[in-house]
């Protein structure tokens, strides 16, 4: 299983606040910490002093610290790519190259004597990773991570994201993407409209962003890009990430019966493999509750995302749980008992036949 991460920005915060946030994240199983030196000013010793305390504290908690840098910073701090001792002294577990070198340098850096991970930018859409791989890097020390985007509407499109990610999956490299807290207030720059890799995720809850990534199944690690996420968000994100199976939020109707609510919430659902274009079927509830009453009610016309249970008019199908994938005509034998939460309706496109899932109350 991959790792969850948070971001801290010591130059825009203070050690006490960072320490409290690290403690909270550690409590919920977060293992990665991202921070950035891209916006730093001052001498090398000043940089070390400002960043060392929170990085040391993260190390004490057993968290992996990655530091964002670029080639210009090497010159600013008088560092050479063939001597990464500065970052080891700082307490980092690895460095993220916001901008890269020619490929040969990155490959050489993966063989540094300190065991530092070298994380490269996944979002460029070029053959950058292919070039690095041609120089035979130590693949166990080569990571990839997508960019994050503070300007609304500048984040990655879904299609570009998938194309870029596939290049890294091809080489079986560890991958990471950034997700956006709705309560966090700052990042590495003064102006931001949130911070995320995928633009379509900017307004979603952290838990829903995590569910989407888990269903895509092509990214290992997820890091909250902005600071500070709330405890409620951290818990919800961890619950979604470590869940045994996907969980889809639904809003049940007040008219749903006790038997119908039991079908929805007291069972692990399985997406029937001989799939229909019109509905996702979970058929075991009709077996488990075959002797229970399912009288007709709320038999209105069916829209995509409606949660359905066949009533007694459908004979042997009585008690079967379904989710509508398309609008359908209702002849009175199907009860509309709820609806997939609007913000998670799109997740229906990612559930796979034969997969298990749970339904939870929105």
pTM beyond 0.85, yes or no = yes
Question: Domains in the chain, ordered, with CATH?
Answer: 4-243 (3.20.20.70), 248-361 (2.40.100.10)
| H or E, element range at 236 | helix 231-242
70: three-class secondary structure by DSSP: coil
Residue with tokens 């609304």: 152
Distance from C-alpha of 72 to C-alpha of 40, rounded to nearest angstrom: 12
Question: In the chain, what's the furthest Cα-to-Cα distance?
Answer: 78
Closest CA to 351 of 291, 260, 281, 265: 281
Q: Supply the mean pLDDT for the chain.
A: 95
Q: Are 57 and 25 in contact (CB under 8 A)?
A: no
Distance from C-alpha of 111 to C-alpha of 342, rounded to nearest angstrom: 48
Distance from C-alpha of 284 to C-alpha of 320, rounded to nearest angstrom: 7
Distance from C-alpha of 251 to C-alpha of 82, rounded to nearest angstrom: 56
Distance from C-alpha of 361 to C-alpha of 356, rounded to nearest angstrom: 17
For the chain, the first-to-last Cα distance in angstroms comes to: 26
The pLDDT, as a whole number, for residue 44 is 67
Residue with tokens 């700052």: 186
Q: Are 197 and 148 in contact (CB under 8 A)?
A: yes
Distance from C-alpha of 248 to C-alpha of 170, rounded to nearest angstrom: 30
Query: What six digits make up the tokens of 341?
Result: 């939460």
Q: Are 273 and 283 in contact (CB under 8 A)?
A: no
Residues facing residue 7 across a β-bridge? 34
Q: Confidence class of residue 42 from pLDDT cuts 50, 70 and 90?
A: low
| Secondary structure of 37-56 as H, E, C letters | CCCCCCCHHHHHHHHHHHHH
- Which pLDDT tens digit goes with each residue over 113-155? 999 999 999 999 999 999 999 999 999 999 999 999 999 999 9
- Which pLDDT tens digit goes with each residue over 64-88? 999 999 888 888 888 888 899 999 9
Does residue 209 carry a pLDDT above 70?
A: yes
């Amino acid at each position: 299983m991959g790792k969850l991460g948070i971001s801290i920005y010591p130059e825009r915060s203070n050690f006490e606040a960072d320490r409290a946030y690290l403690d909270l994240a550690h409590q919920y199983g977060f293992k990665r910490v991202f921070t950035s030196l891209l916006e730093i000013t001052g001498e090398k010793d000043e940089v070390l002093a400002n960043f060392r305390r929170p990085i040391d504290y993260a190390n004490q908690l057993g968290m992996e610290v990655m530091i964002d840098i670029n080639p210009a910073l090497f010159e600013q701090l008088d560092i050479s790519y063939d001597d990464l001792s500065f970052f080891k002294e700082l307490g980092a577990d690895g460095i993220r190259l916001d901008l890269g070198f020619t490929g040969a340098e990155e490959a050489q850096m993966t063989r540094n004597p300190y065991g530092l991970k070298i994380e490269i930018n996944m979002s460029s859409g070029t053959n950058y990773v292919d070039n690095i791989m041609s120089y035979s890097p130590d693949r166990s020390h080569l990571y990839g991570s997508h960019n994050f985007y503070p300007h609304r509407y500048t984040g990655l499109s879904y299609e570009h994201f998938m194309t870029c990610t596939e290049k890294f999956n091809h080489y079986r490299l560890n991958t990471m993407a950034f997700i956006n807290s709705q309560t966090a207030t700052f990042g590495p720059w003064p102006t931001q409209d949130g911070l995320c890799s995928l633009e379509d995720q900017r307004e979603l809850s952290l838990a829903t962003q995590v569910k989407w990534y888990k269903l895509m199944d092509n990214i290992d690690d997820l890091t909250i890009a902005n600071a500070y996420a709330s405890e409620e968000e951290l818990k919800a994100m961890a619950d979604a990430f470590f869940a045994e199976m996907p969980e889809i939020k639904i809003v049940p109707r007040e008219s749903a019966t006790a038997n119908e609510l039991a079908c929805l919430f007291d069972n692990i659902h399985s997406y029937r493999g001989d799939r229909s274009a019109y509905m996702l079927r979970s058929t075991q509830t009709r077996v488990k509750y075959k002797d229970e009453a399912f009288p007709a009610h709320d038999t209105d016309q069916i829209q995509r995302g409606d949660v359905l249970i066949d009533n007694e008019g459908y004979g042997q199908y009585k008690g079967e749980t379904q989710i509508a994938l398309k609008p359908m005509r209702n002849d009175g034998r199907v009860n509309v008992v709820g609806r997939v939460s609007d913000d998670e309706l799109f997740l229906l496109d990612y559930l796979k036949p034969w997969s298990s899932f749970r339904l939870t109350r929105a």
